[in-house]
A and B are shown apart, each in its own frame.
Chain A
């Protein structure tokens, strides 16, 4: 018996002619781990919300949703809250109470369970998730990954039969995302809990899944085992951009028989192809040019008692290049940007911007003219009620980025998709016409097409003479687009070079493509470079 069966589900929001979901049908067997993917705006979130009666949006709905052959909408109140768990994207906003224990208890308290039972469940759940030591910690002191783990644990305390997750790792860094997904896999394996996960970045998720649902324009276009779906997916499907590196590689090779998903399978596939025919040339050392931003033995700390955040940093960014800084959490990446933007002065060493040494007094006015920062969370920039007002507030022409804002002018900035918000924020940031643009995690939460569009916009800015300094966790983005990369470790530069140099010498902290090619094709760090080595086309 299927755990969940969705039959011919059609849905439209009230007063809108456009139907969001058209004739969606799929079946989830108990114990399956299903991944739902599709372009932004294809109706993923609407579909997931319709499965959870408490969250289901109002509108015209037809078709059936059957949960073990019963309709969740006919259940008594409280049953669906318990049996269907729902984890959303924003780690911070889902937390309700101020301490970890109270948060874990929240759901069970709502169900009116007896206190002794609640405490027992909290104890065992917290122990299983390894968060027992957090106990009475305030939820505000947790990191993003820890918050999301707490959200998962809080939902699991209610012992649901089905766990629905709506892009749970979009706001997390790759390490935290991997931890989170590993926990999900453990839950699925240890308890046979059914998982339905919507995600737009499939690199880490797809190897865990045993079922894949691809949505296109409001309907489930493909479903089945991931390998099967990948072999069915047409060559020009935009979804390919989101697939794991190994799968994309196989796709470039035109190999539809074997479908590698992991780096291990990818390496096996390359081994089967033998030695590459067109070995890439050894990358030349980057040309030294006029440095436009230069830190020399720079030190930064936020409070006089604190430890140094930047510790003897020597870094030069050349004019009109795209420089990417990578590194783990707490390496000081964002602090580099803050000093460059003039928000904090280095207490020792020098910072030179456009050939002028920055002194504390001169800092503000000069840097505001030439350097500008796109913050990690672009919603910190949105002030107004409509996009049109935002553009007016920025004194920015609507066509600054070559993006047509006309259909969006009356919308609220928060109603835009993540990628559109990023572009709107970029428009606001560029209004001061800077020569240096700093970007803090610009690809966080973006799906593959939005990333590609952002990269295109940034390349155009670079051609027009702008210097870009990006801080990112997204190594693939860095490898594909940067002119030079630097690895930051404990406030100082540990390695530097072109992406090909950097990522091919680094064994752990590198792109999936570089790990697949390691030892076989020197200096290939992207899918297209590997494909080129075998004489194939780059990206389809």
Chain B
């Protein structure tokens, strides 16, 4: 059940952007951990296989940054060890862990974005905001499979008449260039046909309209409301400095007051919204089925 993935693209985009943005503005390890935890759990639940390569990358980056920062960064007042006249400080390590968590959270948000926001979703959003760019993207995306197939065809034809071969590396490079050059001529010449076809159907006479729509449902409204509420609250707290943490020279955590816990709750809710939403949908289907 991927109810979250079927939401209105604008809602999903806003939700994931807010998560990524708040992670970027946040310097508190607990909040970052919460954000990362929510989104990581959702990716594990729904997109484990599709995001296989992301796990490695995100956790690797986390480790790398956490370890590299104390090695490079000499700020901080509490020395842990001295390597080669280089002081490794506790504060630098703490900052590294925070930066690693932030990176991992943003990476997972982006990975989820790539999975949930398909090509159609992105093009839909672009069509409504920047129609001309959307058309350019749509055309470029159409050219991709076309050119791949055409490249294979040309290569085959050139191999068959013995003009190129793939025996040595040099052969392959010169052959590739030859094929590329033919592909280029073909693309440019036939691009003119496409331009004619566009103009014949009235392209460029005035403002274009957009046919594609996604219905904005009650679910979208709920999700949007939740996102705006939690995201707004969290961003507000972050920007006003309620959750600011000082790392250098001495680590000073944010004051644990109502505001801080409020921001924490908002972060938790925001990042666990997809799981809650899918759970709600599962429950609904469960009820429907048991009624039959």
Contacts and interface: CB of A to CB of B under 8 A. Distances in A.
A348 interface: no
A286 B167 CA distance: 41
B203 A140 contact: no
B77 interface: no
B209 A54 contact: no
Quick one: which of B139, B149, B158, B202 has the most chain A CB within 10 A?
B202
A297 B248 CA distance: 78
A105 B127 CA distance: 13
Q: B-side binding surface: helix, strand, loop or mixed? A: helix
Contact of A111 (B145, B159, B205): B205
Interface residues of A, number: 65
Given A140-B146, A373-B161, A155 B201 contact: yes
A473 to B, nearest CB: 18
A94 B156 contact: no
B200 A118 contact: no
A140 B142 contact: yes
Contact of B190 (A90, A136, A141): A90
Nearest to A96: B198
A537 interface: no
Contact of A375 (B153, B193, B204): B153
A354 to B, nearest CB: 16
Interface in B169-195: 178, 181-182, 185-186, 189-191, 193-194
Interface in B127-174: 135, 138-139, 141-142, 145-146, 149-150, 153-154, 156-162, 165, 167
Contacts of A158: 201-202
Nearest to A415: B189
A92 B211 contact: no
A207 to B, nearest CB: 28
Given A95-B142, A375-B160, A78 B211 contact: no
B162 A118 contact: no
Contact of A382 (B162, B182, B203, B212): B182
Given A90-B190, A383-B181, A154 B158 contact: no
A364 B208 CA distance: 54
A78 B209 CA distance: 14
Interface residues of B, number: 51
B208 A119 contact: no
A270 B52 CA distance: 72
Contacts of A106: 198, 201, 203
B101 to A, nearest CB: 38
Contacts of B193: 88, 90, 93-94
A86 B200 contact: yes
B12 to A, nearest CB: 18
Contacts of B208: 109-110, 112
Interface in A73-123: 77-78, 81-82, 86, 88, 90, 92-99, 101-102, 105-115, 118-119, 122
A115 B209 contact: yes
A140 B144 CA distance: 9
A462 to B, nearest CB: 19
B210 interface: yes
Given A52-B200, A383-B181, A364 B205 contact: no
Given A102-B138, A105-B212, A112-B209, A96 B197 contact: yes
Contacts of A55: 196, 199-200
Contacts of B194: 93-96
A372 B201 contact: no
A88 B200 CA distance: 10
A119 B167 CA distance: 53
B194 to A, nearest CB: 5
B198 to A, nearest CB: 5
A392 interface: no
A128 to B, nearest CB: 18
Given A95-B194, A106-B203, 12 more contacts: A54-B200, A96-B198, A98-B138, A98-B142, A109-B210, A112-B209, A140-B142, A151-B197, A155-B201, A338-B160, A372-B162, A382-B182
Please list the 7 inter-chain residue pairs (A to B) with the smallest Cβ-Cβ separation, ordered nearest first.
A81-B202, A368-B162, A373-B160, A107-B201, A93-B193, A105-B211, A140-B145
Interface of B: 119-120, 123, 135, 138-139, 141-142, 145-146, 149-150, 153-154, 156-162, 165, 167, 178, 181-182, 185-186, 189-191, 193-194, 196-213
21 contacts: A55-B196, A77-B206, A88-B196, A93-B193, A95-B194, A97-B142, A101-B212, A102-B211, A105-B211, A105-B212, A106-B203, A108-B211, A136-B120, A140-B145, A158-B201, A158-B202, A380-B154, A380-B156, A380-B158, A382-B182, A432-B161
